[in-house]
């Protein structure tokens, strides 16, 4: 059995198996168009995909996976600095784009054609043998506390194990219609939101953007969203009530505030499922469709995953529902390491082979997990996006008027955390200009939502910026 079982015909087909960007496709059409891509990329070291929410993106991703070529999703709004890093570091020699999406330097573009889809398989020359499970499916770029994003190597076996575990936890099947409008360059929108459907056989509707109105209209049975999306849905009563026909509302990528959980449950009659994960581990902990959905809790490890808590000295922490520790995970859903980053790999794993999440958690005697927060203030979650304070600070320092900068994630009702930058500048520059500067060089979602121009930054005796003090001010 391959990775994308639904493409092998395991669950039949439908003319609208995939709806995205105003286009409806059957799985046969998708397979045919993706096979054309696979021919073009077979043997390449890696395939970058300009990951706009389009049928071309899904086709390119599936084409790379069919050919066994690691797929590198490129955030479509990434600026030159971030893009150059991802292309260089991943070794991608081809960038899949929509025809006419030109202007890319330093990489050969591969226009993905969606016309003549049905005939495309006839020149396929046969289907591809399933690549070995340990081969890399994706190189997913994700922020650390400092420096440029790291490429997490995600094996095909991890994707398969995680999707099967989630299908079991959520009773996710070919009977479902999955709806979401999440970006296609992260685990949530791409691995779960696209490949999940191509493995379970559910239909999938991508709404372009994850707005309450679009979710309400889509009439799905299974909905994915980040907490910002659910908080916006909960604030629009009629949109929320329209979701009462759905089977399951699933939240993840950041903590779901208890008041949002409760309001959503009251308006829809559906207590949301909350699940926890990371790029590096995929989704490891979740409440279950047939189990208790406790506000503020992410539930139990999914099938095959083991979790434990460790104190600062590395010693085990009891699972007593009170004592906090660093959450460590092990199991078949884990990544294979960071590309070209032996230093980061050495830090990420314990001596006995567990992955250190960097999240602080509590585990109850009943096994339920509660995520308390991040161990480092320098890893920010805003709107479900993971943003490294160090990367934004470095981008700000690239501006000629900036002498120094410190970035924090300030609590924010809509985004969970908002990127706030404290900047020492020469007075010739405004906060809006600095925001635009970051948005152009990195991804738009990494831009500071607020820039505070200051004379100096609070520092300790060692010269280290006191971020906790800045957070208190923010
Ligand atoms: C605004 N815009 C700018 C700009 N200011 N453009 C350039 N320069 C500036 N200074 C534009 C944007 O391009 C965009 O345009 C529009 O304004 C709105 O952008 P935004 O402000 O960023 O959108 P916002 O409404 O804040 O987005 C909220 C959100 C988004 C929830 C829709 O944060 C989101 O999609 N989050 C999902 C993140 C996610 O999937 N994370 C999963 C990680 S995986 P335009 O044209 O685009 O409208 C993971 C594992 C797991 O965590 O556990 O799941
Ligand atoms: P990313 O690599 O972008 O997937 O981000 C992973 C991080 O998102 C984790 O380390 C957590 O800090 C956070 N996260 C994901 N899901 C949850 C959740 N349900 N509750 C709290 N934090 C979460």
257-288 pLDDT, tens per residue?
999 999 999 999 999 999 999 999 999 999 99
Whether residue 209 contacts residue 383, with contact meaning beta carbons closer than 8 Å, is answered with no
226 in contact with ligand 1, CB cutoff 6 A: yes
Q: Span 5-198: which CATH code?
A: 3.40.50.12780
Which residue owns the Cα nearest ligand 2 atom 13? 254
CA distances from 309 to 16, 23, 115 (A): 44, 46, 52
User: Looking at residue 1, what is its pLDDT?
Assistant: 76
Rounded-to-integer distance, Cα 64 and Cα 51, Å: 13
User: Looking at residue 115, what is its pLDDT?
Assistant: 66
- Per-residue pLDDT for 3 more than 50? yes
User: Looking at residue 123, what is its pLDDT?
Assistant: 46
Rounded-to-integer distance, Cα 325 and Cα 317, Å: 6
Rounded-to-integer distance, Cα 98 and Cα 58, Å: 11
CA distances from 298 to 166, 232, 233, 243, 402 (A): 13, 21, 20, 22, 41
User: Looking at residue 127, what is its pLDDT?
Assistant: 75
315-339 pLDDT, tens per residue?
999 999 999 999 999 999 999 999 9
Rounded-to-integer distance, Cα 349 and Cα 281, Å: 12
User: Looking at residue 259, what is its pLDDT?
Assistant: 98
Q: Which ligand is nearest to the CA of 286?
A: 2
User: Looking at residue 35, what is its pLDDT?
Assistant: 96
> Which segments of 271-387 does DSSP mark as H helices, in order?
342-348
E strand or H helix that includes residue 268:
helix 258-268
Over residues 132-155, the mean pLDDT reads 96
Q: Phi, psi (5° rounding) for residue 358?
A: 80, 0
202-252 pLDDT, tens per residue?
999 999 999 999 999 999 999 999 999 999 999 999 999 999 999 999 999
User: Looking at residue 125, what is its pLDDT?
Assistant: 45
Which residue owns the Cα nearest ligand 1 atom 51? 253
Which residue owns the Cα nearest ligand 2 atom 5? 278
Whether residue 419 contacts residue 392, with contact meaning beta carbons closer than 8 Å, is answered with yes
Q: Span 383-473: which CATH code?
A: 3.30.300.30
Provide the pairing of β-strand 18-20 with 23-25: antiparallel
Whether residue 393 contacts residue 405, with contact meaning beta carbons closer than 8 Å, is answered with yes
Closest residue by Cα to residue 203 from 53, 20, 2, 56: 20
359 in contact with ligand 2, CB cutoff 6 A: yes
Whether residue 222 contacts residue 167, with contact meaning beta carbons closer than 8 Å, is answered with no
Assign 103 a pLDDT band (cuts: 50, 70, 90).
confident
Over residues 30-45, the mean pLDDT reads 96
Whether residue 146 contacts residue 391, with contact meaning beta carbons closer than 8 Å, is answered with yes
Assign 102 a pLDDT band (cuts: 50, 70, 90).
confident
Q: Which ligand is nearest to the CA of 210?
A: 1
Which residue owns the Cα nearest ligand 1 atom 23? 445
Provide the pairing of β-strand 248-251 with 355-363: unpaired
What token pair was written down for 127?
A: 């289907």
Q: Provide the sign of the torsion angle of the four alpha carbons 370, 372, 376, 380, taken in this order.
A: positive
Whether residue 332 contacts residue 304, with contact meaning beta carbons closer than 8 Å, is answered with yes
Rounded-to-integer distance, Cα 339 and Cα 342, Å: 8
Q: Which ligand is nearest to the CA of 384?
A: 1
CB atoms within 10 A of CB 102: 8
User: Looking at residue 427, what is its pLDDT?
Assistant: 79
389-445 pLDDT, tens per residue?
999 999 999 999 999 999 999 999 999 999 999 999 987 899 999 999 999 999 999
User: Looking at residue 106, what is its pLDDT?
Assistant: 82
Kindly report the length of the chain: 474
Which residue owns the Cα nearest ligand 2 atom 7? 278
Q: Which ligand is nearest to the CA of 285?
A: 2
Concatenated DSSP letters for 287-303?
A: --TTS---TT--BEE-T
Q: From the CA of 186, give the closest atom in ligand 1.
A: 44
Q: From the CA of 383, give the closest atom in ligand 1.
A: 33
User: Looking at residue 121, what is its pLDDT?
Assistant: 45
Q: What is the percent of the chain with per-residue pLDDT over 90, rounded to a whole number?
A: 92
Q: How confident is the prediction for the chain on average, in pLDDT?
A: 95
Which residue owns the Cα nearest ligand 2 atom 20? 255
Residue extents of the structural domains in the chain: 5-198, 383-473
432-452 pLDDT, tens per residue?
999 999 999 999 999 999 999
User: Looking at residue 105, what is its pLDDT?
Assistant: 81
DSSP character for 364?
A: -
User: Looking at residue 124, what is its pLDDT?
Assistant: 46
| Span from the CA of 280 to the centroid of ligand 2 (angstroms) | 10
Over residues 295-302, the mean pLDDT reads 98
How crowded is the C-beta side of 3, counted as CA atoms within 13 Å? 30
- Per-residue pLDDT for 122 more than 50? no
């Amino acid at each position: 059995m391959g990775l994308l079982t639904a493409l092998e015909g395991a669950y039949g087909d439908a003319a609208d198996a995939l709806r995205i960007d105003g286009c409806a496709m059957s799985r046969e059409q998708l397979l045919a168009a993706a096979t054309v891509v696979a021919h073009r990329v077979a043997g390449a070291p890696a395939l970058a995909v300009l990951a706009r929410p389009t049928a071309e993106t899904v086709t390119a991703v599936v084409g790379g996976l069919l050919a066994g070529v690691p797929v590198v999703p490129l955030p479509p709004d990434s600026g030159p600095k971030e893009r150059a890093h991802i292309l260089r570091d991943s070794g991608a020699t081809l960038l899949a784009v929509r025809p006419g999406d030109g202007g890319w330097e330093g990489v050969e573009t591969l226009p993905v054609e969606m016309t003549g889809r049905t005939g495309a398989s006839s020149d396929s020359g046969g289907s591809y043998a399933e690549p070995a499970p340990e081969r890399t499916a994706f190189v997913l770029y994700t922020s650390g506390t400092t420096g440029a994003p790291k490429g997490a190597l995600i094996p095909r076996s991890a994707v398969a194990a995680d999707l099967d575990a989630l299908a079991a936890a959520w009773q996710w099947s070919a009977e479902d219609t999955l709806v979401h409008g999440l970006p296609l360059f992260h685990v949530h929108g791409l691995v779960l939101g696209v490949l999940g459907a191509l493995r379970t056989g559910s239909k999938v509707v991508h709404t372009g953007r994850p707005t309450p109105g679009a979710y309400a209209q889509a009439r799905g049975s299974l909905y994915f969203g980040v907490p910002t999306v659910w908080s916006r849905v909960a604030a629009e009563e009629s949109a929320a009530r329209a979701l009462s026909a759905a089977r399951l509302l699933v939240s993840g990528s950041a903590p779901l505030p208890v008041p949002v959980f409760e309001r959503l449950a009251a308006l829809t009659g559906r207590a949301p499922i909350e699940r926890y994960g990371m790029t590096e581990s995929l989704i490891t902990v979740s409440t279950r469709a047939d189990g208790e959905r406790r506000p503020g809790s992410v539930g139990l490890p999914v099938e095959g995953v083991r979790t434990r808590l460790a104190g600062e000295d590395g010693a085990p922490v009891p699972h007593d529902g009170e004592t906090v520790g660093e959450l460590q995970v092990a199991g078949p859903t884990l990544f294979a390491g960071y590309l070209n980053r032996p230093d980061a790999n050495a830090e990420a794993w314990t001596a006995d082979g567990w992955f250190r999440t960097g999240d602080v958690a509590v585990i109850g005697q009943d096994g339920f997990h509660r995520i308390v927060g991040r161990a480092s203030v320098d890893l920010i979650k805003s709107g479900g996006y993971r943003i490294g304070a160090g990367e934004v600070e470095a981008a700000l320092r690239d501006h000629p008027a900036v002498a120094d900068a410190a970035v924090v994630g300030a609590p924010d009702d809509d985004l969970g955390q908002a990127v706030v930058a404290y900047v020492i500048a020469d007075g010739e520059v405004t906060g809006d200009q600095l925001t635009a500067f970051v948005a152009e060089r990195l991804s738009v979602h990494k831009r500071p939502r607020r820039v505070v121009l200051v004379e100096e930054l609070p520092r300790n005796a060692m010269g280290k910026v006191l971020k906790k003090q800045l957070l208190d001010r923010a």
